[in-house]
Structure 1
Amino acid sequence: MKPTDTHNERIAKMTFSSVYPHYVTKVEKKGRTKDELNEVITWLTGFDEKKIQQLIEEKVTFESFFSQAKLHPNAHLITGMICGYRIEEIDNPLTRQTRYLDKLVDELAKGRKMEKILRS
């Protein structure tokens, strides 16, 4: 399944602050912590906890969020299915980056070891 232009636009305009609490809930329900979630976000984006909090407070869109990020050189190793899409087949860079983040949060919630999640 390929994301449509409308789907890509919707993701670009979605705010990080609207999704972050759902990430926290998802990982905490499965026994993981907010600190672990932030570690995963930091690995992917290069943002420290202070910057993550600032971006939440500023209600930045995913477009702005990822334009400010310095993606980890191993981010391309994040593959597989997420939300019905095969990550490596997503053409739109922003949608692919957002799905990278979704996939990492999923792996964290599923109890995967941090070394595996962080592709180290």
Structure 2
Amino acid sequence: MTKHRIYTMSFASVYPLYVAKAERKGRTKEEVDEIIRWLTGYSQEELESQVEKQTDFETFLTEAPKLNPSRSLIKGVVCGVRVEDIEEPTMQEIRYMDKLIDELAKGKKMEKILRK
């Protein structure tokens, strides 16, 4: 079975789209970074390094220092698919990130986005 195209895309090519989506809705790059750090366990320096190295999405997620255990609390629909029902682990992690960025753009408070 061939891998989904998103796995081989560089995280750096998608990251600015996340930031732009947030900024269009009055949110900040710092909030996007906070969400990604919360989800993956990367420090700010490690996150910036991954973007700079043009790491592909699959590697970005499989090498994440510590995926947040609370990510299983993320529920809802992204691209017409329930994130909690996605069986392929890497795709689920990508959709978790998409869902959190969507919540940010919709004006949710950071405490709720970060499942506090």
What is the TM-score of this pair, normalised by structure 1? 0.92
Measured in 2, the distance between the counterparts of 1:50 and 1:22 equals: 20
> Is the aligned partner of 1:33 residue 2:33?
no
The 2-side partners of 1:78 and 1:19 are apart by: 20
Residues in 2 aligned to 1:88 and 1:96: alpha-carbon distance in whole angstroms: 8
Distance between the aligned counterparts of 1:84 and 1:16, measured in 2?
A: 22
Q: Equivalents in 2 of 1:9, 1:59: separation in Å?
A: 18
Letter in 1 for 2:62: S
The percent of aligned pairs where both chains have the same amino acid is 52
**1:25-64 correspondence to structure 2 within 5 Å:** 25-64=20-59
Residue 99 of structure 1 aligns to a residue whose secondary structure is helix
Is 2:109 aligned against 1:116? Answer: no
Q: Which runs of 5+ in 2 are unaligned?
A: none
CA distance in 2, matches of 1:28, 1:117: 16
Q: 1:20 aligns with which of 15, 26, 39?
A: 15
Listed one character per residue, the Cα deviations across residues 15-41 of structure 1 (whole Å, up to 9, x for unaligned) are 100100000100001000100110111
How many residue pairs get aligned? The number is 115
Rounded to whole Å, the distance in 1 between the matches of 2:26 and 2:9 is 27
Q: Which runs of 5+ in 1 are unaligned?
A: none
User: Following the alignment from structure 1 to structure 2, what is the Cα–Cα distance between the partners of residues 92 and 61?
Assistant: 17
Structural RMSD (CA): 1.1
Tell me how far apart the structure 2 counterparts of residues 79 and 71 of structure 1 sit (CA, whole Å). 16
Q: What residue in structure 1 maps to residue 77 of structure 2?
A: 81
Please tell me the residue identity of whatever aligns with 1:78. I
Instruction: Kindly indicate whether residue 71 of structure 2 is the aligned counterpart of residue 68 of structure 1.
Output: no
